Amino acid sequence: MKKLTLLFVLLIGVVSLHFTFDDLNRFGTNQEEFKSQITLLASFKEFPGFKFYYSPTIKKACMSIPAAEQASAAKMLGKMVKALVMGASFKADYEKSLAQDLRNTDRNSAEMKEKYENDYNSNLVSIQTISKMPEFTNQLFPLQESIAENSKKALDDINSKDLNSASAEEKQAFKSMQTLYKRGYDNAQAILKIKPLLKSNPVEFNKQYARIMAEQSVESEIESNKISNEELLAQAAAKKDYKANIKLQLQQFLDESADVDFGAKVLKQSNGFENFENEAYREKSRIWKQCYRIGKPATMAFREIAQEWIKEL
């Protein structure tokens, strides 16, 4: 997030010093990262503000901008961001970014196949040792019988419920429980089915047990990923209208920067930090204070851009 926080300050320096995207790597970023960060910014419903974390190199570049050029630099910055966001490819890139955190639910994917192999080998090593212990085998099958019985009762109870009047959340909760109990029942039955192999063919029993446990692990992760994806998709749906998000940010910026007192006096505190002489200003928003630091020329230029852009959204 640090690079996002310095993005606007960085770009003022880049534009005023006539750098191009190819030169962004001098400041620890590049064109691809710039697009990525603007795309991320477009997903926010609140403007994060102009923040002032930057490296000595960036600080030097930005501080070298003459005061007379700050307003034009801010206007150019606004045009760059607007051009990117309103460009033909931004919508597709933005929607792709919202789906990039979706988790894998494909059983046939390389990732899930690798997980299965790792879990299988791990379980095989483990069962080859513990299957020789009488206390394990004496407890394993009675436990699986109990799991199967209790899971069956729970499934029957869920299936007997009338969910017509249930809310969407309640229906989803019952569906999740149904999946959980069915998996528990199926796994218990699968282990009970291979019980004869423990005496007749212990090597095959170990392989089958490792397979069942590995499959259970994969299915459990896939189910967990599906639940996570539903939440992520709901969040993505709420963020999908990036133009509405940007409009909210622009309006917030305009509201909070409307009455900045650029001539406000600051006092140096005993701890070395500065604070406003006017105590009321100390309670102002982060954006108000950051606009004060940016200065009037750049702030007014940003306000002009925001006022124009918000009419188009």
Total length of the chain: 313
Instruction: Quickly state the pLDDT bin for 67 (edges 50, 70, 90).
Output: confident
Per-residue pLDDT of 229-246, as tens digits, reads 988 999 899 999 999 999
User: Whole-angstrom Cα distance, residue 312 to residue 268?
Assistant: 43
Q: Which of 80, 97, 96 is nearest to 302 (CA)?
A: 80
- Does 216 score more than 50 pLDDT? yes
- Mean per-residue pLDDT for 198-223? 95
Domain ranges for the chain, please list them. 2-100+241-312, 110-238
- Does 60 score more than 70 pLDDT? no
Our measurement of the distance from residue 73's CA atom to the centroid of its chain's CA atoms, rounded to an integer in Å, reads 32
pLDDT at position 187 is 94
Helix (H, G, I), strand (E, B) or coil at 273: coil
Q: Name the H helices within the chain.
A: 2-5, 7-16, 31-41, 56-63, 67-85, 90-98, 110-130, 134-159, 168-193, 197-200, 202-239, 242-256, 286-294, 296-312
Token pair for 275: 């604070």
Q: Name the H helices within 160-201.
A: 168-193, 197-200
What pTM was estimated for this model as a whole? Answer: 0.65
Per-residue pLDDT of 157-204, as tens digits, reads 988 888 888 888 888 888 888 888 999 999 999 999 999 999 999 999
Per-residue pLDDT of 114-164, as tens digits, reads 999 999 999 999 999 999 998 888 899 999 999 999 999 999 998 888 888
